[in-house]
Structure 1
Amino acid sequence: MPSRSILLWPVGLVGRVSLVLLAAVVLVFLASAIFYEEAEIYIDDDARITQLVEELSTDLRVLRTTPPSQRAVLAVLLSDNGINVTWRPPNQPETDEPLYRLYHLEQTLIGLDPEFGKARLRIYAERADSSSIHGTLYLSDGSRLAFIVPHVLAHRHMTRGLASAAITAGAVAIAAAMLVRALSTPLRALAQVADSVANSHETNWVPLTEKGPREVKGLARAINAMQVRIQRLINDRTEVMAAVSHDLRTPLSRLRLRAGFLADDETQAAIEADIDEMEAMVNGVLAYLAGDLNPEPQRVVDLVAMLMTLLDSQSDRGRDTSYVGPDRCLVSVRPLAIKRVFGNLIDNACNYGGSAHVTLENKGKEVIITVVDDGPGIPEAEREKVLNAFYRLEGSRSRSTGGIGLGLAIVKREVERAHGQVYLDNAPGRGLRVRVTLPSQTPNA
């Protein structure tokens, strides 16, 4: 049974975005209410300053017109809860003045009443954060009107206002971050799944959890159904091609057997050549599909030993081969798949370039294997295309060699599955150069 708080959370994406906007409006309203309250306090302070000017102006005029013998008593009568007034005769020495003089407030009061300037107004505060002020106004005979006004300054209000603004801004930022994260989490998961579907070499798709707003749930459900359909199509295609390719071996074997009984040697040679070509095609398709049908586990192998075995096999057939690199290099790979990769590269180099020169460099985090031949190379415009399945270069790749355009496609697919990269270019003064990079320690599949 879902809790009440979950029921209050809208189901749809539009409802959730609307709720986020409503929450932002409420927070702004509360912040505005706090700031308006602070503004009213500032207005009250301004009104208090105006009232203070009026009171001091009245007191100054009254004491000026009063005989000196009556000024002390009159000052007591002029004092009230808002201001404390005393009169000091000329012969009374001045006491030590407070430490902080308030020049800005002096100029403000003098601006409101120029008479304060003639009376040499002085205003002080006991401390920098004090809200009460002390002041002195001089009469023409040298006597002084001293006054104390409590709680007329409002330093605390500015602090409270800044604190309120900071708290409000922080609350809005945290709430927005949490809400946006909650809304974007399902979308990020959708993006990751879509990216995995887009990778042709990634077939282990993970079903997407159907959660979040109603619209996101519907999209996740559609993507999961799409994954199932795509996986079914890929499996059906792979199984059909594998079955057809495998079943072709039987009639090809019968054809080869029957061709052996032909009396015409020329016809027999032509038929056997066609059979060889068809068998090469079948073997190439089966090799291409083997990685999808039966992916082998990874294990640690000596890459140098594997390369030397392939090169020795070509050398025994009279091909020009060479190897430059360390005597041992351990990597974690799918052994048969990687052996097929470098077998294809070395076969291509020998068949189309007349030689295969292999270089291995162990750079710690990655291993770089380079295969160079002495052939015509591949034009730059064709280098990306030759990595696609069933694409062949005319002229430089003749059908007499038995190629059907799967060798480099297998190389690309298996190297990417091993978390490596394949680069093609033409070596200066030589032929095609294929550079394969593999991690020294590839992760387990």
Structure 2
Amino acid sequence: MTPGPAQPARQPAPVTRRITLWPRGLVGRVMFVLLVAVALVFVGSSAFYEEAETYTIDDAQLEQVGERLVIDARVLAATPTSQRMVLAAMLSTGDLTVDWRTPAQMGVMKVQPASLRKLHDRMAGTLSALQGDALNLSGTIAETTDVRGTLRLPDGSYMGFLAPDILQPHHMRRGIVSAAILAGAVLLAAGMLVRALSMPLRALADVADTVGSGRWVPLADKGPREVRYLAQAINKMQDRINRLIADRTEALAAVSHDLRTPLARLRLRAGFLDDPDAQKEIEADVSEMEAMIAGVLAYLSGEKDPEPARSVNLASILATRVDDEADQGRDVTYDGPDQVQAVVRPLAMKRVVGNLIDNALNYGGNAHVSLKVSDQTLCIRVEDNGPGLPEAEISRVTTPFYRVESSRSRSTGGLGLGLAIVSREVARDGGAFNLFNRPEGGLCAEIVLPRRAVIRQAG
């Protein structure tokens, strides 16, 4: 890696979260649309009923009451005043009660409210005896179901009447309650249906996320027609990807196998050279070619790694690798617990740790490995005291086959695959790989694994 001035870690920009009422998921969006539609219908229907029909009135019954009022008024008008009270009681029935009143008994007449004008006109209809101010509904209370009022007789006296249960506002209330129950049932049924329809899409998203990772499970051919077509297309695409990866790996493995024979012959012939300098250069080139082949094969074989994750002592893996490097006289130290059980892929984790330690030793001259376990994460750090990296290169060095230009020398070697392998393997275990310059100088390579991977810590 290219030496560069040590710079403090760049602070991440604050994340702005946007709060929106529009749901993110398909089920939520469809349910939101259905809810708005049903609510609009519900509110509109309620407003219409409130405005157009303050009362739900049986027109036939109302017309019948008007006719009876006219007949009873004629009978009372033709009867002597001394007998009208008794006759009114005889004319009264359960659905219409009448009585007779003198002008003195009536006193000051109440003015009929404007809100009852429509009811007045509908009750009067074509009956001339009920037209105008002869019929007065001033005694009717809007909150009740009864119709009260008076009808002026030709001699100036009045016939009072009470028609119970003519107005039926509870019909409208029952209708609104029924509409609300129906709307809830429609929403429930729609939600279950949309959820059932969206399940194949969820399966598609989950499976598509594993494309090319070696954990592919073919999609079931079920669901709506469009979903089935999409599942078939994804299955075919994954088959093609698997064949391409397999063909590429097999071709490279065959080429590397065929190359080893002429490389071995070249190394053998170099041993017979009389020029020691030429012999040393040829052997170095052969070693470099063998390392290049091994590195490419390691990277490509990891794209379809069958190694399963299992519980291992991660602290032991780190300490063992550190001890091996220290035994060779290298400046490598370890700081952390003696035992941390974690569910990882052992061989992949050994390769990751080895790449990071080699990288620190080659470019920084030393490596300090640490392991920390918190409530949420498991953190592995490999730090060195080298020159670090320019900020512009940190995001690029994990790209396969990318190397900082000034590091292309035999003293460091490599193909630019070490950090790419680390980033890929850590992501497969559900973790994150971070690179940053240390404030005091040097580079820090950090692996953060989720806390769920940690089983037990001791020591």
Instruction: State TM-score, norm by structure 2.
Output: 0.71
1:238/1:292 contact within 8 Å kept: no
Query: Which is worse superposed, 212-221 or 387-396?
Result: 212-221
Q: CA deviation at 1:232?
A: 0.8
Equivalent residue for 2:307? 296
Alpha-carbon contact 1:354-1:375 (below 8 Å) kept? yes
Q: Does residue 387 of structure 2 align to residue 376 of structure 1?
A: yes
5+ long unaligned stretches in structure 1: 1-20, 93-102
C-alpha separation between the residues in 2 aligned to 1:213 and 1:309? 54
Change (3 A) 1:292 1:246: farther
Alpha-carbon distance in 1 for matches of 2:77, 2:421: 109
Choose the corresponding residue for 1:150, options 161, 164, 187: 164
Distance 1:368 1:261, change over 3 A: same
Look up the match of 1:213.
Answer: 224
Residues 391-433 of structure 1 deviation map (CA, whole Å, 9 limit, x = unaligned): 1111145343221111111111221222221011111121221
Q: CA deviation at 1:238?
A: 1.5
The total of aligned residue pairs comes to 393
SS in 1 for 2:209: helix
Deviation at 1:88, TM superposition (A): 6.4
Matched residue, 2:242:
231
CA distance in 2, matches of 1:312, 1:81: 106
What's the secondary structure of 1:332's corresponding residue? strand
Residue aligning to 1:174: 188
Question: Could you say which residue in structure 2 is the equivalent of 1:262?
Answer: 273
In structure 2, the CA distance between the partners of 1:185 and 1:328, relative to structure 1 (3 Å rule), is: closer
* Alpha-carbon distance in structure 1 between the residues aligned to 2:310 and 2:97: 95
SS of equivalent residue, structure 2 residue 210:
helix
Structure 1 residue 262: Cα displacement:
1.0
8 A contact 1:106–1:123 mirrored in 2: no
Q: Aligned residue for 1:436?
A: 447
CA contact (8 A) 1:60 1:145 kept: yes
**Larger RCO: Structure 1 or Structure 2 (Cα < 8 Å, ≥ 6 residues apart)?**
2
How much does 1:362 deviate? 0.9
**RMSD between aligned alpha carbons?**
4.2
Letter aligned with residue 264 of structure 2 = S
Give percent identity, aligned residues only. Answer: 56
- Residue 309 of structure 2 contacts residue 345 of structure 2 at CA under 8 Å; is this kept in 1? yes
CA distance in 2, matches of 1:440, 1:158: 59
Deviation, structure 1 residue 44: 3.7
1-side partners of 2:69 and 2:113: how far apart? 14
Which residue of structure 1 aligns with residue 285 of structure 2? Answer: 274
Distance 1:111 1:176 in 2: 42
Contact 2:134/2:152 (<8 A) preserved = no
TM-score scaled by length of structure 1:
0.73
Task: Write the distance in 2 (CA, Å) between the matches of 1:419 and 1:124.
Answer: 72
CA distance, structure 1, for counterparts of residue 251 and residue 112 of structure 2: 93
User: C-alpha separation between the residues in 1 aligned to 2:312 and 2:192?
Assistant: 49
Change (3 A) 1:105 1:59: farther
- Given candidates 396, 399, 404, the residue that maps to 1:385 is 396
Match of 1:83 among 75, 93, 96: 96
Residue matched to 2:116: 108
Q: 1:182 to 1:317 in 2, by over 3 A?
A: closer
* 1:158 positional shift: 1.6
Deviation of 1:49 (Å): 6.0
Q: Distance in 2 between matches of 1:196 and 1:361?
A: 30
Provide the C-alpha distance between the structure 2 equivalents of 1:146 and 1:206, rounded to a whole number of angstroms.
Answer: 85
Q: In 2, distance between residues paired with 1:67 and 1:209?
A: 94
| 1:15 alignment counterpart | none
Counterpart check, 1:326 vs 2:337: yes
Q: Which amino acid counterpart does residue 250 of structure 1 have in structure 2?
A: T
- Gap regions ≥5 residues in structure 2: 1-33, 106-110, 121-131
Query: Residue 55 of structure 2 contacts residue 167 of structure 2 at CA under 8 Å; is this kept in 1?
Result: no
Task: Measure, in 2, the Cα distance between the counterparts of 1:416 and 1:229.
Answer: 24
- The equivalent of 1:68 in structure 2 is 81
Of 404-413 and 252-261, more deviation after overlay is shown by 252-261
In structure 1, give the amino acid aligned to 2:181.
Answer: I
SS in 1 for 2:174: helix
Question: Does structure 1 residue 355 correspond to structure 2 residue 369?
Answer: no
Deviations 1:299-335 (A, max 9, x none): 3333223222322333344433333222322222222
